[in-house]
Amino acid sequence: MSIESKIHELREELRRHNYNYYVLDKPEIDDYTFDQKLKELQRLEEAHPEYYDASSPTLRVGGEITKNFETVRHEYRMYSLDNSYSQEDLEDWEKRIKKLIDGKVEYVCELKYDGASISLTYEEGKLVRAVTRGDGVQGDDVTNNVKTIRSIPLQLKGDYPEKFDIRGEIILPLAGFAAMNAARVEAGEEPYSNPRNTASGSLKLQDSAEVSNRPLDCLLYSIKGENLKFKTQYEGLEKARSWGFKVPEVAQVTASTAETLKFLEYWDEHRHDLPYETDGVVIKVNDLQQQEELGYTAKAPRWAMAYKFKTEQAETLLEKITYQVGRTGAITPVANLTPVQLAGTIVKRASLHNADQIAKLDVREGDRVYVEKGGEIIPKIVGVDFEKRDPQSEPTVYITNCPECDTPLVREEGEAQHYCPNEMGCPPQIIGRIQHFISRKAMDIEGLGGETVALLVNAGLIQNYADLYELKKEQILPLERMAEKSADNLIKGIEASKAVPFERVLFALGIRYVGETVARKLAKEFKTIDALVEAGEERLVGVDEIGGRIAESVVGFFAEALNQELINRLKTYGLQLELDASVLENQTEKLKGLTFVISGVFEKISRSDLKKTIEDNGGKAAGSISSKTNYLVAGDNMGPSKREKAEKLGVTIISEDEFLAMV
């Protein structure tokens, strides 16, 4: 096949898929496959510009417009987004931005909601028009149907602009979708295929009364208009929320791809805890002036990128639901499945997360279920084929007692998971706590892995992490697969761990809610384990970014007699339970209680050293200016928006030399 024929074939195929997806809402292929075909066409067109076609799918946002509703032209075009599926894609995108923008660039990460795109127009605080995406240039007027969605305000409150458009997604929450399907199956009707298509189809129903009976929701994420009174995307989200719109709270400002990846990793794992579907994360340049400088390609903004979670779905039988106990006592329900091929592996088990997730999906033993696996993340149950359900099946009843030690489970207010409170007598918790203690980011004990910990516990040689420091070589030699060299390495690794710094020891203790970052903050603030033990909740909450839940957990941990005994034993073994003297020598409280924002390029000190200097002297280095900011440390090439905001809020602007004089 010639190059010209290949290009023509790809264009025709992509046009057909565009039509099926955007007009009929009946996609024949998944997003990943579509994007790979689109990228192949883009590569061929770039290599062979002689075959340019202005109507190519690479230059378009969507497909044709349906004629069931009045066609309306968007005042502000609704662009599509470029997609990425890897860390390398995001890093390349960030490099392109840094070439075009001088100075610091911040990003906002938002979940990519899997629904039907909508543009809402407001005038004088009233909803006047709702238009579907269509082909991005024009869409269908579905105002009457949208007005039935209760989360969309008909009248705004607060300091809203006189006229503006706000974009978002019409979604069908999972609980509502499951209830709709259950009712349809009971009535002998065919269940809907998925929430996204059902939400999109609902917008095009002729009878708005029927739409009002569907549990549709709307999540908003972007404002378009003239003379808007905010400077960043994140501030726009906060404004929209204050006007009465439903704007998810999960958006986060990040300063680099590395920080963005943490957000992606977290939500790839936790997205199924949400009440609605998401299929990725949208990363946007935060500063609106920088967005304007970056502009658009023919089809997408240069200042935004969609990271799509890789998913593959399969259907199989849920044979049995069992329950696992984690190191903190958290109970995780697990679906045991008839083995099925998924994302290149045979899947036999999948996470069901918690009791709420089971209830939301109405998952039962004996169901045919849909399983997804995103990247290397543990497979998850994401839906049930209600049509194939046994009419005699019974709803799942969540267990009341620990499957390992039979202790009655507890579920704290506001918590999604049930917990086994038998911390010191439940075997998986005992093993899990020690495995956490010896992990790489904690004590990092060379020669000691998770399996060896289980062997030591099951052999009765250890019951807690303090016991590790009393192990003798002759005790561990008889263990399975434990040769003399392995035993020597294990003993040496345990001895070497006594030099691990205080903040990592604190993290290793396994205090609930005390991760690496919180452990560093607590170590820096209290300097010694004794000072931390003596601190009450009020004192702890006074530490920057330490909330009531963390404070309560820390106080509760040290109040336990067994934990007090463990700490005392660790002291006698010589572990580092206070900050190193050399670290303390370089720390003061000269800047205690002061918040600084750093912007621009500096001559005498690097940005990272400047931030460290602030923190070493008791101050806080924040990423953005707010009413709580005391000083803006201004270097060369500082963005004008930061200076304007500092001046507006009355924040003192100081130079590099003026800052250094303070310390």
DSSP 605-658: S-HHHHHHHHHHTT-EEESS--TT--EEEE-BT--HHHHHHHHHHTPEEE-HHH
Mean pLDDT calculated for residue range 68-81: 85
Among the residue ranges 52-56, 63-67, 87-91, 95-99, the one predicted with the least confidence is 63-67
At 333 the pLDDT is: 94
Q: What is the pLDDT, as a whole number, of residue 532?
A: 94
Residue range 176-203, pLDDT digits in tens: 888 888 877 777 777 776 788 889 888 8
Q: Between 307 and 517, name the one with better pLDDT.
A: 307
CA distance 598 to 632: 6
pLDDT tens track for 466-520: 999 999 989 988 888 788 888 888 999 999 999 999 999 999 999 988 888 789 8
Confidence of residue 64 (pLDDT cuts 50, 70, 90): very low
| Cβ–Cβ < 8 Å for 277, 380 | no
- Can you give 481-509 as a three-state secondary structure string? CCCHHHHHHHHHHHHHHHHCCHHHHHHHC
In the chain, pLDDT over 90 holds for what percent of residues? 37
Residue 66 has pLDDT above 80, yes or no: no
Residue bearing the bigger pLDDT, 29 or 641: 29
pLDDT tens digits along 369-383: 999 865 444 688 888
To the nearest whole number, what is the mean pLDDT of the chain?
85
Is the per-residue pLDDT at 311 higher than 80? no
Q: Is the pLDDT of residue 464 over 90?
A: yes
Residue 310 has pLDDT above 80, yes or no: no
Q: What are the backbone angles phi and psi of residue 67, rounded to the nearest 5°? A: -105, 10
> Which active-site residues does the annotation give?
112
Running DSSP on this structure, what letter comes out for residue 74? Answer: -
CB of 126 within 8 A of CB of 133?
A: no
Q: Any idea which fold 502-585 has?
A: DNA polymerase; domain 1 (1.10.150)
CB 179 within 8 A of CB 89: no
Give, in degrees to the nearest 5, the angle at Cα 244 between 238 and 245.
70
For residue 19, CA distances in Å to 13, 34, 163, 203, 380 come to 10, 12, 32, 17, 31
Q: Which residue has the tokens 């697969």?
A: 481
Encode pLDDT of 397-410 as tens digits: 999 999 999 999 99
Residue with tokens 């580092």: 576
Q: How do strand 138-140 and strand 71-73 relate by DSSP bridges?
A: antiparallel
Integer Cα distance of 244 and 151 in angstroms = 9
Tokens in use for 347? 């899947």
pLDDT per residue as tens digits for the range 538-562: 899 888 778 888 999 999 999 999 9
What superfamily would CATH give domain 71-308? DNA ligase/mRNA capping enzyme (3.30.470.30)
Top pLDDT among 18 and 87 is at 87
> Which two tokens mark 3?
């190059």
Residue bearing the bigger pLDDT, 640 or 465? 465
CATH code for residues 3-59: 1.10.287.610
114, 450, 600, 498: which is closest to 309 by C-alpha? 114
| Closest to 166 measured CA to CA, from 247, 60, 56 | 247
Euclidean distance between CA atoms 235 and 160, whole angstroms: 13
581 or 236, which is more confident? 236
Which pLDDT does position 15 carry in this prediction?
A: 65
List 121's β-bridge partners, or say none: 129, 165
Backbone angles phi, psi at 442, to 5 degrees: -105, -110
Q: Is the pLDDT of residue 65 over 50?
A: no
Confidence (pLDDT) at 323: 95
- In this structure, are residues 372 and 311 in contact, taking their beta carbons and an 8 Å threshold? yes
Q: In the numeric block, which tokens belong to residue 16?
A: 């057909």
Tokens of 399: 């267990």
Residue 375's pLDDT is 41
pLDDT at 22: 42
Backbone φ and ψ for 319, nearest 5 degrees, come out as -80, -45
Residue 596 has which token pair? 């600084």
Residue 267 pLDDT more than 60?
A: yes
Higher-pLDDT residue of 86, 22: 86
Domain spanning 427-499 has what CATH number? 1.10.150.20
Quick one: pLDDT at residue 187? 73
Q: How do residues 381-394 score in pLDDT, each as one tens digit? A: 888 999 899 999 99
Q: How many other C-beta atoms lie within 10 A of the C-beta of residue 585? A: 8
Return the SS3 of 88.
helix
Give the SS3 label for residue 479.
Answer: coil
Q: Check pLDDT > 60 for residue 91.
A: yes
R_g of the chain computed on alpha carbons: 28
pTM, entire model: 0.49
Q: Which residues contact 416 (CB under 8 A, 6 or more apart)?
A: 273, 353, 354, 356
Hunting for tokens 């795109």 — which residue is that? 117
Structure-block tokens of residue 44: 């061929």
Report the pLDDT value the prediction gives residue 61, as an integer from 0 to 100: 39
Q: Give me the helix-helix angle, 450-458 and 427-437, nearest 10°.
A: 140
How confident is residue 62, by pLDDT bands cut at 50, 70 and 90? Answer: very low
Query: Would you list the domain boundaries of the chain?
Result: 3-59, 71-308, 311-388, 427-499, 502-585, 595-662
Question: 427-499 with 502-585: one CATH topology?
Answer: yes
**Nearest CA to 168 among 210, 205, 122?**
122
Closest among 194, 60, 30, 184 to 116, alpha carbons compared: 194
Q: Which CATH number fits domain 311-388: 2.40.50.140, 1.10.357.10, 3.40.50.970, 2.130.10.10?
A: 2.40.50.140
Give the domain 595-662 fold: Rossmann fold (3.40.50)
